[in-house]
Amino acid sequence: MILKIILIIIITPLVGGLLAGMDRVISARLQGRHGPSVFQPFYDVLKLTQKESIQVNTMHRFYVYASLAFIILTVVVMLTGGDILLAIFVLTLGSILFVLGGYSSNSPYNTIGSERELLQMMAYEPMVLLTGAGLYYADKSFFIKDIISAKVPAIIYLPGVFLGLIYILTFKLRKSPFDLSMSHHGHQEIVKGMTTEYSGKDLAIIEVTHWYETVIALTLVFLFFATSSLESRIFAVIACLLAYLFEIIVDNGFARVKWQLALKSTWLVTGVLGSINLIVLSFFR
Amino acid sequence: MNIITLLILFPLIAAIAVFLVRNDSMRNVIVKISALITCILTLYVVSTYFKTGASLSFANEHVIDLAIISVEILVASYVIYTGIKSKCYLVSIFAAIQTPLIAWFELTQKAGIEVKSAIILDNLSAIMVLIVGVIGSLICLYAVGYMKWYHEVHKDYKERKSFFLSVVFVFLSAMLGLVLSNNLTWIYFCWEITSLCSFLLIGYTRTKEAKKNSLLALVINVGGGLAFAIAIVMIGINFKTLELSVLITLKPGIMVLIPVFLLSIAALTKSAQLPFSGWLLGAMVAPTPSSALLHSATMVKAGVYLIIRLAPLLGQTSVGRIVTLVGGFTFLAASLMAIAQRDGKKILAYSTIANLGLIVTCASIGTQESLWAAILLVIFHAISKSLLFLSVGAIEHQLGSRNVEDMNILMHVSRKLALYMLIGISGMFLAPFGMLISKWAAMKAFIDSNNILIVIILAYGSAATLFYWTKWMGKLVSNANNRNVTKKDFTLDEELPIFIQAVLIVIACVTFPLISKYALVPYLTALFKGNAMVPISASDINIMLIMLCMILLLPISFIPLHKKDKRRIVPIYMAGENTGDNETFYTAAGMTEKVELKNWYMEGYFGSAKLTYWCNVIAIVIMCTGVILLIRGLA
């Protein structure tokens, strides 16, 4: 068990980093560039760790480390087959710590980033919770190990919830049009959003945290397709990759929207797709 | 005299003593000692009877009843007089109907009704007694220090400290009586006394606003009392009983459901649910100790306590459905409206309304899981919220303001206070703290009972909750520079209760599996006559405890690290125009200007002026639907 946890902690960021590398390549091709190697994210992080870390105050980076710790705990809970609601709550705690880090700098640009991140959290949180609720409805258990060994994939019961989840994955993966708080598109960013006051090792940690988060987001997609059979799990992995590809294309196809639209549209999508799906499901129960 | 009777009567004696002693320092000593004795009595009573429970009956009950009736008539005359004097005739009418009604019932109809056990102490009332006794006495302790500087700052208000403190003790006595009584007329009596205390405390400053708000509170609560009185008469005449414990064993036929609906209305007014929530927001003009004690930790819990008691009659019945909807809707609406608030106490008030809504929802669903969540919510909410109120009171003392925007310098003024605030806020919504555990169980209970609409409401409401609390936390951690900070002394009178409550939150979080095992599960097992299960599995509880350890240990591991750290500290980035002090920047004209960072309040979306009206309309529609359903049941 302990070995398994250690493996999860080590392998997850490697997968996340590779996904980020793929993202870089695919985005470059979409934009008519050649793009870097798939391993570029790792080189970037390595380089960041060798840079001098400057800081604006002593407490600032604490929140980033704490955030990483809880995001790792989320991954461990999820990949060991734990309770999905618990995983969501731990993930929320990790995200909130990151937001508080931004506030604690008291820097204008960083604070704007934090405020926007918080708004994004408010926008996507209902859908995340409904995803948890929906999976429980479909499989009668909050435990991921039970959900992925069901007979019928959850997507059959929860097509609406799944579409809603894809909608909010854009927030979680920090992709346009919903990358209000921090983005890798320099042209639409306010300085560097939430990461403005971070540098060196701290920035590297933020990057690694994001790799973990990518895996968390895709695991949620995985849960909709996996059943007890092996083929379904392979198919589920392909579905995750397709979802990721879809998000990359959306990222390259849209410009950042205003926060009003981000909040309203997400709550509307959640209300329509997620809620109606669940209400219909509850009728047949 | 039985020790339980003593527990109820002791605060009353303390109240008289506090009222009579006019010397400040002597009165303070009396208040402190009385608070301590109340606390010890509470702990003693609970530890004695926790395992076995207790039920008392009195030999000379009709004498007590007569005494109660005479006090009620006195109170009613005062209320009627107040109503006429301040031209608020509605409250006079309410009082003029209900008291004669109850008196008529007591004197002519009650003859054949026998009350077997007038006082019952089971696990639920033990929990309530603990909350009232322990938190109540801590708040009394705090009130001593608070009222001292309150009058130093507000010289324009007439100093009536002994009045204030004695009303607080009267309230404690009434509240203890309320949760311990099983006789409905006694509960009703205590209910009315708490309404009166609330009225007196809100109107304490005697300003125009205070008078207006206190009258609003009185109208709504006395209106609730009227519903309560009618319910008692109906139950007494139809079923020849006055015991709450008997009432809940009746079959939920239409003749039971009508009084239950009336009792629920009384509970909803007390717990400030929509459309009755206006009074609780107005109540924030009262001095902070009374807001902490009456308007968040205890008195408003009387309503949800009653609903938890009535749960077996709610559940799947039409009344239960309506109450569930009202609670759920209140949770969502109040959470959204809290986003647009800047005043710390207002945020706390909205959050109180929202959480009471959640408790009402859980309780009225009435399954074993949902009741587990409801009772846990009551416990955690009481501790966290009273800590937050007391802290905001202390912050107001330190900063001279309770606007959230001004709290960005709190870290410089008082690190301790900022930490207490952070603990309190975390306790309200973050994993692994108490409220979240309960919300989690609530979510599971809602799905299991197929209340999908409530699940959706909970999802949106939680998102809003997360937003308004985190932005407040953001201000607290923001470390804003301020050179001219004036530190005021943070007296022990103020700090000790705050500190104890902060410790209580952490202890409650660590020991909640024990609370569940020794208090909730036995209570629910007895209520449902079957083995009660804990909705959260053991492995999850372990992970929660790991998280709690992480939260406690992470800061510790960080302290030695940054002391020998050689990192360069640089000014914050202001597009190259930082003047160097992190406070000001050069404008285009070469002038210097101060940086101001503000939070988002989104008044265009969540402003209470805009939302309140429609929310009330919707809540009234839900209630009317309930009435229609009942009338249909009659026909």
Q: How confident is the model at residue B346 (pLDDT cuts 50, 70, 90)?
A: very high
Average pLDDT estimate for A138-144: 89
| Residues B330 and B304 reside in one and the same domain | no
Domain membership flag for residue B570:
no
Residues whose CB is less than 8 angstroms from the CB of residue A210 and which lie 6 or more positions away in sequence, other chains included: A16, A20, A174
B115 or A64, which is more confident?
A64
Task: With CB atoms and an 8 Å threshold, state whether B436 touches A53.
Answer: no
Does the beta carbon of B450 lie under 8 angstroms from any beta carbon of chain A? yes
Please determine, for residue B562, whether its predicted confidence score (pLDDT) is greater than 60.
no
Provide the mean pLDDT of chain B. Answer: 89
Find residues 515-544 of chain B whose CB sits inside 8 Å of chain A: 537, 539-540, 543-544
Domain membership flag for residue B171:
yes
Q: Which of A8-17, B393-402, B466-475 has the lowest mean pLDDT?
A: B393-402
Structural domain range at position B217: 1-312
| Residues B411 and B457 reside in one and the same domain | yes
Please determine, for residue B633, whether its predicted confidence score (pLDDT) is greater than 90.
no
Average pLDDT estimate for B480-501: 80
Q: What is the pTM of this model?
A: 0.95
| Residues B319 and B308 reside in one and the same domain | no
The CA-atom distances, in angstroms, between A71 and each of A91, B104, B183, B191 are: 6, 65, 52, 48
Task: With CB atoms and an 8 Å threshold, state whether A73 touches B547.
Answer: yes
Domain membership flag for residue B388:
yes
The widest CA-to-CA distance across chain B, in whole angstroms, is: 89
| Residues B288 and B318 reside in one and the same domain | no
Helix (H) or strand (E) holding A252: helix A230-253
Cα distance from B287 to chain A (closest Cα, Å)?
31
Task: With CB atoms and an 8 Å threshold, state whether A142 touches B444.
Answer: yes
Report pLDDT for B483.
63
Q: Which residue, among A51, A75, A107, A198, would best test binding to B if mutated, counting the most B CBs under 10 Å from its CB?
A: A107
Q: What percent of chain B has pLDDT over 70?
A: 98
Please determine, for residue A160, whether its predicted confidence score (pLDDT) is greater than 90.
yes
pLDDT digits (tens, 9 = 90+) for B200-244: 999 998 899 999 999 999 999 999 999 999 999 999 988 888 899
Report pLDDT for A67.
94
Please determine, for residue B482, whether its predicted confidence score (pLDDT) is greater than 70.
no
Task: With CB atoms and an 8 Å threshold, state whether B470 touches A96.
Answer: yes
Instruction: Answer with the one of B282, B312, B342 that is the final residue of a domain.
Output: B312
Domain membership flag for residue B571:
no
Nearest to B353 by CA among B299, B280, B456: B280
| Residues B212 and B241 reside in one and the same domain | yes
Task: Sketch the domain layout of chain A as residue ranges.
Answer: 2-283
| Residues B322 and B424 reside in one and the same domain | yes
Q: What is the DSSP string of B348-362?
A: HHHHHHHHHHHHHHH
Please determine, for residue B608, whether its predicted confidence score (pLDDT) is greater than 60.
yes
Please determine, for residue A101, whether its predicted confidence score (pLDDT) is greater than 60.
yes
Considering only CB atoms, B567 lies closest to which of A53, A86, A126, namely: A53
Cα distance from B597 to chain A (closest Cα, Å)?
7
CA end-to-end span of chain A, whole Å?
Answer: 36
Report pLDDT for B504.
93
Q: Which residue, among B435, B579, B581, B597, would best test binding to A if mutated, counting the most A CBs under 10 Å from its CB?
A: B597
Nearest to B551 by CA among B509, B514, B582: B509
pLDDT digits (tens, 9 = 90+) for A207-229: 999 999 999 999 999 999 999 99
| Residues B200 and B331 reside in one and the same domain | no
Please determine, for residue B556, whether its predicted confidence score (pLDDT) is greater than 80.
no
Average pLDDT estimate for B141-152: 89
Find residues 558-597 of chain B whose CB sits inside 8 Å of chain A: 558, 562, 565, 567-575, 582, 595, 597
Task: With CB atoms and an 8 Å threshold, state whether B477 touches A104.
Answer: yes
Does the beta carbon of B412 lie under 8 angstroms from any beta carbon of chain A? no
Q: Which two tokens stand for residue B334?
A: 């109040």
Q: Which residues of B touch A137 (CB under 8 A)?
A: 447
Domain membership flag for residue B281:
yes
Three-class DSSP category at B63: helix
For A128, the closest chain B residue by CA position comes to B459
Average pLDDT estimate for B158-169: 90
Helix (H) or strand (E) holding A27: helix A2-30
